[in-house]
Amino acid sequence: MFAGCGRNVLGGNPGAPYPNEPAGAVVLMDYDTKFGNVSDPPWGSIATGPGNLSTITDPSAPVNPNTVGAVRFTTGCCAGSGPARLETYVGPGRGTPPSGWTRWYVSDWVKFDPTFRPDAGIQKLFPFYINAGGEGGIGCS
């Protein structure tokens, strides 16, 4: 299992909690990971199974300790697809930059559970892609 929280901006702000955020960046998406009740926006595509996404409390979380998203990876789970895939695209409240962008900044906080075992090959957590139609996304899978 891993838990996280994220922020996408367009555009260096050296101040915590986002030390490498470009100065003057415009916030596209500042998501508090309510994984127990995912919605659109910000997620334009949601693919998961029952119980794989939840919202938990974690007093150790650096931000939003009462709203932490959790993803369940069961043993041997779902090579090639993952227990959950959340994608955000271009649009109000979503995290992908519109046309004309120059820099795309994304920040996420993640903690791995002691029982978590990554896939022997590749474990995707924050893949970025932009397809031939010019629409892009960021997801967790």
Partner 1 sequence: MLVKADNQYGGNFALIPRFTIAYASTGLVHLGGIDLTQAGVWYQYEVIVNRSGRLQMWCRPKAARQR
Position among 47, 56, 77, 106 found at the interface with partner 1 (CB under 8 A): 106
- Which one of the spans 13-21, 28-36, 44-52, 74-82 is the region binding partner 1 (CB under 8 A)? 13-21
Q: Does 20 bind partner 1 (CB under 8 A)?
A: yes
> Phi and psi dihedrals of 48, rounded to 5?
-160, 175
* Cα-Cα-Cα-Cα dihedral sign, residues 131, 77, 70, 45: positive
- Which one of the spans 45-53, 55-63, 69-77, 83-91 is the region binding partner 1 (CB under 8 A)? 55-63
Position among 37, 39, 60, 75 found at the interface with partner 1 (CB under 8 A): 60
Nearer to partner 1, 43 or 104 (CB): 104
DSSP, collapsed to helix, strand or coil, labels residue 26 as strand
The C-alpha atoms of residue 110 and residue 66 are separated, in whole angstroms, by: 15
Q: Does 73 bind partner 1 (CB under 8 A)?
A: no
Q: Which of 50, 116, 46 is nearest to 85 (CA)?
A: 46
Position among 108, 120, 140, 141 found at the interface with partner 1 (CB under 8 A): 108
**Residues 6 or more apart from 105 whose CB is under 8 A from it?**
8, 9, 10, 11, 18, 20, 21, 22, 25
- Which one of the spans 33-41, 48-56, 69-77, 96-104 is the region binding partner 1 (CB under 8 A)? 96-104
Q: Are 107 and 6 in contact (CB under 8 A)?
A: yes
Binding site for partner 1 (CB under 8 A): 17-22, 60-62, 101-114, 116, 118, 122, 125-126, 128-134, 136
